[in-house]
Structure 1
């Protein structure tokens, strides 16, 4: 009987040590567009942002991811239609300057932590991390802005400031996985 108990405890210990479901990854592919690798604990949530083509969350873990993709041609047409073609972004820096203020304005206590200019999967990218407060909740964000030949992308990942250290590594890793597919 003692051997059976020892064997059972050993089996449980081995299983618990190899269980990494919290950190397993899933690749989400948006048809004829892009893919993004995110933690498997996230689930689709279509009401995070009406403009996002990818929206995942885990409310219990307070972890959220969205991607907004904008065709450069569609963006140009909208700017022309609104008579502001002179404000159309020519490059990623201008696109970032166009988009980031709307995020900043939605926050109280906005504080930029870092900015990285890099190349990710053959796309020019700008990665920005910052904190801010929405409805008295302190939030930690990482945002990736990307430019491909025909499309601008925004990947927004956020959690509560309390969980920043718990998820920071995973959040940053997500930003490096955006990949165009079928282009």
Structure 2
């Protein structure tokens, strides 16, 4: 009898609680997952860029990189709706290293692989602190849900040595 009363009371409490709910809940997913390939000589690291989702480097070869993503949903929340990957690229590149000496930006190259859009360009500048010219492969990726900035760099004198690997990193991105 006591068990029956306890079960009945529990059921009554649960039914009462659900009947007082004002609205249905909308479900959200948190976090973002994507895949990227790195050359065997590079490893994940931290401390390069606080906004990045992943960072990679090889200190001996002096090559570095990181990836930052922005979901389209999050950009919409702050009224930053881009009509295309070209518009996203233009918005980013105009300020990228703009105050650095001898900054040069190549013409962007566009590619589409399946449903994913890619833009890449070469950026060089003179780093006063390091007293050397630095080369960046700047990659922008657009998927159905997000925009990614894929930044890989090395000394400009090593551009020919590492550019193909930097491109492999860029074009391996998927979400």
TM-score by length of 1: 0.71
Match 1:123 to one of 104, 116, 119: 116
Partners of 2:101 and 2:36 in 1: how far apart?
29
Partners of 1:106 and 1:132 in 2: how far apart?
10
Instruction: Please list, as runs of the form range in 1=range in 2, the aligned pairs for 1:6-155 lying within 5 A after superposition.
Output: 32-79=32-79, 88-135=81-128, 136-155=131-150
Unaligned segments of structure 1, at least 5 residues: 1-30, 80-84
C-alpha spacing 1:179/1:121, structure 2 compared with 1 (3 Å): farther
Q: Give the count of matched residue pairs.
A: 143
Following TM superposition, where does structure 1 have runs of at least 4 consecutive aligned residues deviating by more than 3 angstroms?
Answer: none
Whichever structure has more helix as a proportion of its residues is 1
Q: Mean alpha-carbon deviation: is it higher for 49-58 or for 33-42?
A: 33-42
Alignment RMSD, CA only? 1.8
Partners of 1:106 and 1:44 in 2: how far apart?
29
Structure showing greater radius of gyration is: 2
Asked if structure 2 preserves the Cα contact closer than 8 Å seen for 1:71 and 1:152, the reply is yes
Partners of 1:50 and 1:106 in 2: how far apart?
21
1:164 aligned residue: 159
Deviation at 1:101, TM superposition (A): 2.0
The DSSP-based 3-state class of the residue aligned with 1:179 is: coil
Asked if structure 2 preserves the Cα contact closer than 8 Å seen for 1:121 and 1:179, the reply is no
Unaligned segments of structure 2, at least 5 residues: 1-30
2:170 aligned residue: 175
Partners of 1:145 and 1:34 in 2: how far apart?
14
Whichever structure has more strand as a proportion of its residues is 1
